[in-house]
Amino acid sequence: MKEFKSFYKEVGGNEGGKCRYNTRLDLYGCGCQHDCSYCYAKSLLDFRGLWDAKEPAAADLKKVARKIDRLTPGSIVRLGGMTDCFQPMENINHITRETIKLLNARGVGYLIVTKSDLICEYMHILDKALAHVQVSTTWIPTEKAVSTERRIKAVETLQKAGFDVAVRLSPYIPQFVDFARLNAIQCEKIIVEFLRVNHWIRKWLPLDYSEYTVHHAGYDHLPLEKKIEYLSRVTGFDEVSVCEDVTEHFDYWREAVNHNKDDCCNLRK
Ligand code: SF4
């Protein structure tokens, strides 16, 4: 198994300045078996020959343990900010499972972002005071992760069991969304993240991108008016937040929409 050495990152720049949880533990890297056509990580690594979707590299658990020993109890790290920590190879390697146990022992919180329902098999080790989960839910037909229905089931199972969980509509591409199903999901919270595109994503996910006229930090985005219009179709949740990259749009969502103005991930703490 190849070793993923850059498993720990403090994210800065445009993203880090907006995201409250910018300490990342990515336990698998240099590829993700879900291999989504709109993946930002893939669009940054593939053209350099650094993306292997069949056999991603995995972090060395001993090194992860040493890093966790230096984290401050009470802080929160993001698991799966770059690649999915619950991609199929976790079924064999269990690195995410062991990392969660280490985080529990250290008293460090973890924000998990995943497209897998494997998270439900780990419910017995998730600490309700430390675990925050966002399950990415889309209806994009090219996806290789488990079905949308299985992901919805995972969200509802976690919500029912009393975990801090949100649907993550990411990326939100309105033409692919089953709004009747989305708005019927039994979950209090939703985080919406609109699609942003670069040259590679346009190539891998060919769509009509004529509405993506705002350029920011190397990507093309929908204008704010379009985003507001599309957000109005998301109606089935008590608490709505938007995860945003474009600075002016970020300011708008924070003031006008986000359930918690200080935390667009809207974690229960
Ligand atoms: S699951 Fe996330 S990290 Fe993995 S390929 Fe899809 S978008 Fe990229």
In a domain, 160, yes or no: yes
In a domain, 265, yes or no: no
Residue with the smallest CA separation from ligand 1 atom 6 is 36
For residue 87, give the nearest of 108, 116, 63, 59 by alpha carbon. Answer: 116
pLDDT class for 168, splitting at 50, 70, 90? very high
CATH number at residue 217: 3.20.20
Split into its structural domains, the chain has a count of 1
CA gap 224, 257 in Å, rounded: 13
Flag whether pLDDT at 15 surpasses 80: no
CA gap 186, 164 in Å, rounded: 13
pTM of the model: 0.96
For residue 223, give the nearest of 232, 211, 234 by alpha carbon. Answer: 211
In a domain, 70, yes or no: yes
Looking only at the bridges linking them, the beta strands covering 8-10 and 23-25 are: antiparallel
CA gap 167, 34 in Å, rounded: 18
Please give the residue range of the domain that contains residue 133. 8-256
Q: Which of 55, 84, 196 to mutate to test the pocket of ligand 1 (most atoms within 8 A of CB)?
A: 84
Q: Which ligand 1 atom lies nearest to the CA of residue 115? A: 1
Predicted confidence at residue 97, as pLDDT, reads: 98
**Average model confidence (pLDDT) across the chain:** 96
Flag whether pLDDT at 12 surpasses 90: no
CA gap 224, 41 in Å, rounded: 24
Q: Which of 4, 26, 27, 32 to mutate to test the pocket of ligand 1 (most atoms within 8 A of CB)?
A: 32
Q: Is residue 158 in contact with ligand 1, taking CB distance under 6 Å?
A: no
Flag whether pLDDT at 16 surpasses 90: no
Taking only the tens place, the pLDDT of each residue in 78-131 is 998 899 999 999 999 999 999 999 999 999 999 999 999 999 999 999 999 999
Token duo for residue 189: 């919270």
Q: How many alpha carbons lie under 13 Å from residue 68 in its C-beta half-sphere? A: 27
In a domain, 73, yes or no: yes
In a domain, 261, yes or no: no
Predicted confidence at residue 158, as pLDDT, reads: 98
